[in-house]
Amino acid sequence: MFENLYTTKMSANKKTLQNRFAKIRAKNGRIANVFSAAMLIFILTTMLYATVVMAAMNEQRMTPPTDGGGAAESVVPYLPQNKLFQKGIQQGIQNLSAVQTDSFGKENLITDSAERKKIKPQPANNNGAESVTDKKRIKSSSVSVIAFANTSGGKIVFGVEDKTREVVGIDESVVFSIMDSITNAISDSCEPVIIPDVSLQTIDGKTIIVVEISDAKQRPYYIKSIGVQNGTYIRVAGTTRPADENTIRELMFEGSNKSFDQSICLGVDITEADIDNLCKSLYNTAVDNCFSEEAKHEIKRVTKNTLLSWGVLVEKNGKCHPTNAFALLTGNEAIPSKIQCGVFKGNNRAVFVDRREFTGPIQTQIEEAYQYVLAKINLGANIDGLYRQDMYELPPGSIREIIANAVTHRSYLEPGNVQVALYDDRLEVTSPGMLLNGVTIEKIREGYSKVRNRAIANAFS
């Protein structure tokens, strides 16, 4: 009996243990499933985060430069930051098991360093790609741009060999990048700002860049990093040269739309008597140069208001101030000026025959130099019936005109004086200063005129 009872109890305990083990196994299975799910979620989240971070890094690497950029950056499409993040998230969701490190989707965003090296500018080659030499030329071309802007304008051509003039062209894949670099270089290096006209032209199937600089007005233009004293350039006879101090000052007057003779002469005080004396002197000079009595009667009196309208006087704070033209017309030593005349034997200046210097008011200098030349040239006569007409070997009217023009249009910023040289075969008159910007010998022969000293020109007109 006890044996049967013991056996029955053991069987009951065995079933109880089996049930308990089954429950434990079921519970452990649920825990394992929860743990596996948590691990899967963690892995997916980590991979998605890595994809988004990589998109942000690539977006930062692909952002276009603000200084014009090079060929590499110019051919890489650019997506705004928010679009890059959206693209990265979408790609991460679609392909979490294989995160791409070289691109996102079908966008041509080159991020691999080896791929980036492929599109960097290479050294100069036959296909006209942007090279180190091109960059140096772009930088050095700013000097030519400055010179053109300070003179009469000009053009710079890229894609043509300097020495052989052979058209090599520029690779179309970098041509717009080079155009941007040229524009940025000119804009960043020149002061005041110069806006070039950059265009493309095709010659024999090859693309070239033409940079045209117009005749600018806000002179002087100079290289910003060097400064106005050392960074101002001009064009002289087809070459680019640094501008000296006097030329820079003259460019400043042109940029302010003023002339040297219309500027106030510092350190010179005048009275009403000085103004009246100048008015009388100018009126008498005009009368003396008339060839008929009728012309003399047409000459109008010169007054203070006349001098103000000419720019010989400047009114400031209710007071009249003398200009540099006033000092020159009155012979004031504040602005030194004289005419040097000489007679030479033969056709050069080896042997002096005679020489004179004339000082004082410039209108008096002109008359005295004119009379000096008349006294030194040969005088002949033309007999017409009963009448005898004296004739000089040179036209007197032309002699006066050439001397007056030399005094009127000379640069008073330049050292030196007007020189009148009489040779056996010719008369030469020279004056300090180069031709004004935009004036050429060809234009002068066609009747073109540009006034350098406006106040003096008004007084002599």
Edge-to-edge strands of the sheet including 197-203?
154-158, 206-213, 197-203
**How sure is the predictor about 55, in pLDDT bands with cuts at 50, 70 and 90?**
low
The answer on pLDDT for 208 being more than 80 is yes
Looking at residue 211, its pLDDT comes to 93
SS (HEC) of 130-199: CCHHHHHHHHHHHHHHHHHHHCCCEEEEECECCCCCCECCCCCCCHHHHHHHHHHHHHHHEECCCCCEEE
**In angstroms, rounded to a whole number, what is the distance separating the alpha carbons of residues 436 and 454?**
13
Alpha carbon separation from 289 to 35, 365, 379, 410 (Å, rounded): 117, 14, 21, 22
**In angstroms, rounded to a whole number, what is the distance separating the alpha carbons of residues 278 and 308?**
13
Looking at residue 2, its pLDDT comes to 41
pLDDT, mean of residues 43-58: 59
The answer on pLDDT for 403 being more than 90 is yes
pLDDT, mean of residues 337-345: 96
Looking at residue 15, its pLDDT comes to 58
What is the per-residue pLDDT across 142-178, written as a single tens digit (0 to 9) for each? Answer: 899 999 999 888 999 999 888 888 999 998 889 999 9
Q: Which long-range contacts (CB under 8 A, 24 or more apart) does 223-227 make?
A: 223/142, 223/143, 223/146, 223/189, 223/190, 223/191, 224/188, 224/189, 224/190, 224/191, 225/189
Provide the 3-class DSSP secondary structure of residue 373.
Answer: helix
pLDDT, mean of residues 371-390: 86
pLDDT, mean of residues 360-389: 90
The answer on pLDDT for 92 being more than 50 is no
Q: How many CA atoms lie within 13 A of 411 on its CB side?
A: 19
The answer on pLDDT for 260 being more than 60 is yes
Nearest to 289 by CA among 429, 376, 396, 388: 396
Looking at residue 341, its pLDDT comes to 97
**How sure is the predictor about 435, in pLDDT bands with cuts at 50, 70 and 90?**
confident
Q: Which fold has domain 132-255?
A: 3.30.950
Higher pLDDT, 27 or 408: 408
Tokens 């053991």 identify what position?
10
Looking at residue 390, its pLDDT comes to 82
Q: Categorise residue 302: left if φ over 0, alpha if ψ from -120 to 50, beta otherwise.
A: beta
What integer best gives the mean pLDDT of the chain? 77
**How sure is the predictor about 368, in pLDDT bands with cuts at 50, 70 and 90?**
very high
Looking at residue 377, its pLDDT comes to 93
pLDDT, mean of residues 362-382: 93
Looking at residue 138, its pLDDT comes to 65
Looking at residue 20, its pLDDT comes to 60
